[in-house]
Structure 1
Amino acid sequence: MRTEPIPLRQHLGLLGWSCEQLIARVNQHRNRRGSLPLHRKSAYPWMRGERPSVEVAGDVLAVLAQHTGRPVTASDLGWNRPRQRRRPRALDTPYEATATELLRDTQGDTPMHRRSFLLLSGAVATAPALDLLMHGAPALAAAQDGDLVSAQLTATVEQAVRQARELDDSEGSASILLWAGGLWQNLGKLITESRYRDAEGVRLHTAYIEMSETYGWMLFDAGHHPQAQRVYQTGLRLAREAADASGVHHATVNLLASTAYQESWLGQYQEAATLLDVATSSRPQALTPRLRAVVEMRRIALAGQMGDTTALHRADDRTRAHLAAARDSEEPWWTLWLSSSAIDAQTGRALLAAHHPDQAEPYLAGRTTEDDASYPRDRMLFASELADARVQTGDVNGAVEAARQALALAEQVGSRRVHDHLARVTTALRQQHDTHPGVRTLLTGQYS
C-alpha cells in the first residue's frame, strides 16, 4: 500500500506530458463546463510543490484520472497537505512591478473581483502615475516565440473593448464582471505571449489601457475598490512601457481621470489631485479638447467632495469651454458621451456632495429629463440624487417623483453603487416622512 504521494512531475512523466500539455487538456475539460482557460504556464508552480485552487485541482485530478485509467485523488499528489506560504504577488505591490510582472500576475485562475488585496493610499496609489512623467522607460517587448497577431485579430480586440464599454453603459457592472474580467485577462495574455508588429503593438497596448479603464470602472462601480485599483495601476504601468503614440496617450489620460475619480470617492483627495495633475502634465500636447473636458469633469467631482464650491464652478466653466472647442471627428470615440447635460449632472452631484442641495437640484433635474435612453445607470443615479437633493430641501412630492423614476430603472441596472445610493434615499424618505401618502405609496410599490 502506497503511503507517500507521487508528485505531479512523476504523473506527467508516466503520461509523457509536458506542463503545457497538461494545461491544454485541463482547459479542454474546463471549456466543456464553461470555465475560463488557465494560463499555459500555470502548472509550473505545481511542479515546485505549490497547489492550485480547489476548483482547478478538481479539474487536474479529473484529467489525470481520465488518462491514467484509475482514480487520482488530492492525497495522491500531496495536495491535501497544508498550503505552503505563497510567493509575493506583483499585484500586492503594483507600484514596484513591471508591466510584464503585473500582466502575468493578473492571469491567475481566480477572477479579479474575488481576489483579496489591501486598499492603496498615499504615494503608493500615485506612484505608477508619477512614473509617467519620467521618460526613457524600457519598452514592453512582444514575445519572440509566440504566434503572430494579425491586423484582423487586432481589429477584433478593439471592437470587443468597445463593446465592453457599451455594455457597461447600458447595463451597469455587476452582471458582466466575469466576462469583462476574462477579456481584460486574455488581452494581457495576448500581449505577453504573442508576437506582433509595431503597428499592432501600439493598437493592442491602447486597447489594453482602454480595457483597464472600463474593467476598473466596473469593479469600482460594484464596490471592489482594491481590485479596481490594481486594474487601474496595471494599465498605468503598461502605459509607462508602451510606445510613444497618440492613442496610448489619449487612453492613459482617460485612465488617470477615472483613477482620480475613484480616489475622490474614497476620500483620498491629495491622491486624486496628483493623478489629475499628471493627466494634464504628461505630454500635454496629446490632449484634445474633449480629453481636457473629461479631466475637468473629474476636478468638478473632487472639488465637490472637498466642499470647495469656488474650485467646483471654475472646473465647471473650464469643462464647458473645452467641450465647446471640440471637433468630434478628431476626438477619441470614448469621449463622445460627454455633453452639456452630462456636465450639468456632474456639477449637480458635486454640489450635493458639498452640502448645497438647493443649488444642486436644478442641475440634476435637467439631467434626468434629457439624458439618453441608452444610459439607464446614469439616469437611475441622477434620479436618485435628485430625490436626495429634494429630500434635503423639503420637497417631498418632488423627491417621491424622482425616486419613482429611479426605481423604474432599477431592474435594468446592476450597479451596486447606484442601488446603494437609492436605498439610502428611500430610507431617508421613510424615516423622515413615513406618514406622507406619496412616500407610503412609493415604498409599498403601489404606483403605476
Structure 2
Amino acid sequence: MASSTVTSSQPNRPARPNLAFRRVRGQRSPAEFAALVRRAAREIGERVSCDARYIGRVEAGEIRCPNYAYERVFLHMFPGRTLTDLGFASRSSVRGRGARMDEEAPLADTTSPAHTTSGAHGVSETHGVYEPYETQDRQDPQNPYDMHHDHEESDVLRRAFMTGGGATVAAASLAPLGLPHDALTAGRPSLRAGTREASALEEAVRRIRLLDDRHGADGLYRRAAAPLRTAYALLDAGATRQATADRLHLGAGELAISVGWLAHDSGRYDDARSHYAEALATARMTGDPALEAHAFCNTAFLARDSGRPREAVRAAQAAQRVARPLGSARLMSLLALREAGGWAGLADRTGCEQALVRAQALYGRGPCDADPEWMSFYGEAELEGLEAQCWSTLGDWQRAARHAGRAAHLQDPHFTRNIALYTAELADDLARGGRPDEAATAGMRVLDLLDEVQSSRIQTMLAGTARVLLPHRRASGVSTFLERHASLPRMT
C-alpha cells in the first residue's frame, strides 16, 4: 500500500452522514428513490442495481464517492450539480488509495487484486481498483455478478446465467461468494468468512432479484441453487466475527427466500415450500423478525397458489404479528393483501374485503425508512395487481379486470415480468367476463413479452385464457391470438 497517503487506521473512522444527498431524496422512500436512479440509468444507457440499501449507505456516508456509472447517473438526474454538491468527496481525494484492509479478512486474502494497490493507481483508475467505501458496485473482475464494469461482458454473463450450462454457469454462480468449487463440493470452505463474503452474498440476492424482475424465474432457478449451497457452506465454516455471522445468516435467509420464489414462480411448489421453511428456520434461530415476516409472507403466497387458502390466512396473520413492531406500514399492507388472498380462496368475501380495506389504508400511510429492502417491488401497481387476483378468485371478473388493467398501466417498465403478469391477469379476467376481443388484445401483449420473460405462472395463466377463448374463435382477434399461442414451445 505504498501509494496510500493515509494510515491504515483512517478508513475505519466513523462515516459522516451525507446530508446533501438525503435532501435531494426529499419525501421519497429509499426504495422509491432507488427506482428513480435505475430509471435515470436506463435513460442514458447505464446499468446500476441501485436499491434502498445502496441509498441508505450513501446517506450514512459509507460511500464517499460513487463509481463512474453512478456518477454519470447522478449528474444526469441533477444537471448543473457536481458530486461535491451532492455531498460526495471529490474523486481525486480517494483515487489511488488501496482497498481497506478488511479487519475480518484472513491474511491469505490480503494479496488478492481487490486488496492491493500500486503507485500507478494514483495516476489513473483501472478495472480492479477499489474506491473506498463503495462496495455495492465496485469494479471487481473476480465478481461475475458485477454487471457494471463492462456492458458487453454483462450481456454475456446474463445470457450465460439465463441459458448457459456447464463451467460457465458454475463460475458465474460460485465465484461471487468467494469459494473455490472444490471447497464447496467438499462442503468444507478452507477459510472462515469475512465481510467480503458477506457482501458478496448480499449482492447475489440483489442480482437474482434483478434478473427475476426482468426475465422471470424459469431460466434462473437451477442456477440460483448454487449460490444458496455456497451460502450455507459459509455458515457451516463459521465467521471471523459475530457481526459477520449475523450478516451471513440474514443473507442466507434472504437468498433462500429468493431461490424459493424462483421455484414458486416456475411451478415447483414443493421446492419452494422447502426453501421458505429453511428461511423461516434461519430467521428463528437468529431471532430476526424482519426475515421471519418475509418468510411467512412468501409462505402465505405459496399456500394460496397451491390450493391451501386456510394456511395462507394463518401464515399471513403470523407474518403480521411478527412484523407489527418493525414500524413499516407498507409491509403491513402487503401482508394484509396476502391475508386477503387466503380469504378469497376460502370464498369468504367479507373477510377478503376487510383485509383489502386494511391493506389500502396502510398503503396510504406512505413509505418510510423502516420499509424492507426486498419490498422495492411493492408499489401502487402491485397493490392493484394483488387486489385483482382477489376479485378474480371470488369470480368478480369486471372488478378484477379493472384492477388488473390499472396494475399493468402503473407498473415501472423495469419490472418486465410483472407487466406480463398483470396483463395476463387482465386477459384472463376479460375472457371470463365475456369480452373475448379485448382479452385477445391483452393476450397478444403478453405474447410479445414472452421473449424476455420466462415464467411458468404466466404461461399457465395464458393457457387458461386460451381455453376460455376457444368457443369465441370468430370474435375479432381471437383466432390470431389462439394460433400464435398454439405455436409457443411446450412447457417442460
TM-score bracket, shorter-length normalisation: 0.5 to 0.7
Q: 1:355 to 1:327 in 2, by over 3 A?
A: closer
What TM-score do the two structures reach when normalised by structure 2? 0.59
Match of 2:430 among 372, 378, 390: 390
Aligned partner of 2:386 in structure 1 is 346
What secondary structure sits across from 1:325 in the alignment?
coil
Please tell me the residue identity of whatever aligns with 1:388: D
Aligned partner of 2:138 in structure 1 is none
CA deviations 1:386-420 (Å, max 9, x no partner) are 11111122112211111111111111111111111
* 1:331 equivalent in alignment to 2:371: yes
CA distance in 1, matches of 2:402, 2:323: 37
Match of 2:447 among 407, 411, 420: 407
Unaligned runs of 5+ in 2: 1-165, 175-179, 486-492
CA distance in 1, matches of 2:322, 2:406: 35
* 1:213 equivalent in alignment to 2:257: yes
Tell me if structure 2 keeps the 8 A contact 1:209–1:251: yes
364-373 or 305-314: bigger deviation = 305-314
CA distance in 1, matches of 2:196, 2:202: 10
CA deviations 1:154-190 (Å, max 9, x no partner) are 1222112111111111111111112211111111111
CA distance in 2, matches of 1:295, 1:39: 42
Tell me if structure 1 keeps the 8 A contact 2:192–2:234: no
Shift of 1:269: 2.2
Aligned partner of 1:223 in structure 2 is 267
CA distance in 1, matches of 2:483, 2:282: 50
Please tell me the residue identity of whatever aligns with 1:286: L
CA distance in 2, matches of 1:382, 1:33: 31
Shift of 1:42: 6.5
* 1:432 equivalent in alignment to 2:476: no
Tell me if structure 1 keeps the 8 A contact 2:316–2:339: yes
What secondary structure sits across from 2:220 in the alignment?
helix
- Give the alignment of 1:347-386 within 5 angstroms: 347-386=387-426
CA distance in 2, matches of 1:441, 1:220: 31
Shift of 1:296: 1.1
Please tell me the residue identity of whatever aligns with 1:160: A
CA distance in 2, matches of 1:314, 1:166: 33
Structure showing greater Rg: 1
CA distance in 1, matches of 2:334, 2:359: 7
Tell me if structure 2 keeps the 8 A contact 1:216–1:229: yes
Q: 1:216 to 1:437 in 2, by over 3 A?
A: same
Please tell me the residue identity of whatever aligns with 2:455: S
Match of 2:462 among 419, 422, 440: 422
Shift of 1:276: 1.8
Tell me if structure 1 keeps the 8 A contact 2:310–2:342: no
Q: 1:32 to 1:205 in 2, by over 3 A?
A: closer
CA distance in 2, matches of 1:391, 1:257: 30
CA distance in 1, matches of 2:347, 2:443: 25
What secondary structure sits across from 1:196 in the alignment?
coil
CA distance in 1, matches of 2:387, 2:358: 12
Please tell me the residue identity of whatever aligns with 2:424: S
What TM-score do the two structures reach when normalised by structure 1? 0.65
Aligned partner of 1:67 in structure 2 is none
What secondary structure sits across from 1:180 in the alignment?
helix
Q: Aligned-residue CA RMSD in angstroms?
A: 2.5
175-184 or 320-329: bigger deviation = 320-329
What secondary structure sits across from 2:198 in the alignment?
helix
Aligned length: 313
Tell me if structure 1 keeps the 8 A contact 2:310–2:343: no
Please tell me the residue identity of whatever aligns with 1:359: R
Tell me if structure 1 keeps the 8 A contact 2:201–2:252: no
CA distance in 2, matches of 1:217, 1:335: 14
Match of 1:170 among 214, 225, 228: 214
Aligned partner of 2:481 in structure 1 is 442
* 1:277 equivalent in alignment to 2:282: no
* 1:191 equivalent in alignment to 2:235: yes
Unaligned runs of 5+ in 1: 1-29, 44-106, 108-142
